Amino acid sequence: MTTLLERPEAPPRAAPPAGDRPRRRRRRWIGASVTPVVVFLFSSLITFTLGALSPSNPAAAVLGETATPADIARMNHEFGLDRPFLVQYADWLASAFTGDLGRSYFTTIPVADSVFAALPVDLALAGLAVLLAVLLGGAAGIGAALRRGGRLDRAVTFVASALGTLPPFVIGIGLIVVFSVLLKALPAGGYVGPQHGLLPWLRFAILPALALSLDIAANIARQLRTSLVAQLGENYVTGAVVRGLGARRVLFGHALRNAIGPALTVLGVGVPTVLGGAIVTEKIFNLPGLAQLTLQAAAQHDVPVIQGTLLVTITVVLACNTLVNLALLRLTPQGRRS
């Protein structure tokens, strides 16, 4: 998946005047928390506009071919589709905040109910995938950076670029072939929630999560390797080594803190990819998540369900991005300094 990374800004050359620091810092924190709100308004507007652009008239679709114009007008009124566009948007957004995402045109089941029944599957899957990505990508990136030019380094570089050329779902198919068909070790599909015990859940979740995580793990490894190699050549690292600090302390206490920015950004940018990829992965592994809901709704042109799933996914993505940005501010020395 293509991602364009925003590198964290270079640290300022001259330290700002001391009295200025708290204010700048506050402004950064405000920026990191206000921008998502604006962005949310934009993307929810996109979501809603999409529905308004729909050529299919929901009333006509529900009522069938025998509907009279009067019936359609009554139905439109019932759904509130005869009001001005911005009024509908504001109303839709306001009720979304109270947990009301409207009702499906076809089943009349509240959209929020169907979405929140499916969402835990995706969240559990995405959470496990992110955890795996951090562990795999972090270990590979650090290992490659410490033994630069070594066998591990070359292997990581090769695997990372090879993974980038494969559609994410091919990895899923490959895992099924190896672990389910050839080794017969894990189920090829189906799902049991984590509330039924961690191990049964892992049996079903580990393959899809692994399939989802590899792409991001590769990106994390690549970014971490590059920035860690750069940091390890810096004077402060040499200084720390000269002062007699242990290798572990130098790596985790100093170099990694400075090097982690790009990798964390990859993780933040990767969240939409994980959630988007989750749809395909769910389809392959036959999981009862948002994918089935979205695909079925798309096939039926069920606009409220589509809008609802999109809005909820966007909210999750934005929340994750904001968390990553705040973590960057706290974690990296340059974020704390300014």
Partner 1 sequence: MRRLALALLAVVGLLAVAGHLIAPHDPLAQAPELALRGPSWVHPFGTDYLGRDVLSRLVAGTGTTVVAAVESVGAGLLLGVLPGLASLWFGRGVEWLLLRGSDAVMTLPFIVFAVAVTGILGNGLTQAMLAIGVLFAPLFFRVTRAAGLALTRAQYVEAAELFGASRWRVLRTHVWGKVAPTVAVTAAQATGGALLAVSSLTFLGIGVQPPAPTWGGVLASDLGFLAQQPWAPVIPAALIALTVAALNTLADDRGLRAAR
Name the site residues for partner 1 (rule: CB under 8 A): 1-2, 4, 35, 38-40, 42-43, 46-47, 50-51, 53-55, 161-162, 164-170, 173-174, 176-177, 180-182, 188, 269, 272-273, 275-277, 279-280, 283-284, 290, 294-295, 297-303, 306-307, 309-310, 313-314, 317-318, 321
Q: Which is nearer to partner 1, 3 or 76 (CB)?
A: 3
Amino acid present at 188: A
- What's the angle, vertex CA 5, arms to CA 322 and CA 164, rounded to 5? 115
Q: Which is nearer to partner 1, 208 or 272 (CB)?
A: 272
Q: Which is nearer to partner 1, 205 or 269 (CB)?
A: 269
Q: Closest separation between CB of residue 222 and partner 1, Å?
A: 13
Distance between start and end Cα atoms, the chain = 33
Q: Which is nearer to partner 1, 42 or 85 (CB)?
A: 42
Beta-carbon neighbour count of residue 25 at 10 Å?
15
Q: Closest separation between CB of residue 303 and partner 1, Å?
A: 6
| Alpha-helical regions (H) of the chain | 21-52, 58-63, 69-79, 85-97, 111-146, 151-164, 168-175, 198-232, 235-242, 247-248, 256-285, 290-300, 303-331, 333-337
**C-alpha dist (Å) from residue 170 to 67, 68, 259:** 46, 49, 31
Q: Which is nearer to partner 1, 128 or 240 (CB)?
A: 128
Would the CA dihedral through 189, 191, 194, 197 be positive or negative?
Answer: negative
d(CA 303, CA 244): 64
Q: Which is nearer to partner 1, 5 or 146 (CB)?
A: 5
Token pair of 110 as six digits = 């509240």
Q: Closest separation between CB of residue 144 and partner 1, Å?
A: 19
Q: Which is nearer to partner 1, 189 or 193 (CB)?
A: 189
Q: Closest separation between CB of residue 178 and partner 1, Å?
A: 9
Q: Closest separation between CB of residue 211 and partner 1, Å?
A: 13
Token pair of 31 as six digits = 């920026």
Q: Closest separation between CB of residue 1 and partner 1, Å?
A: 6
CB 164 within 8 A of CB 223: no
d(CA 216, CA 222): 10
Q: Closest separation between CB of residue 142 and partner 1, Å?
A: 25
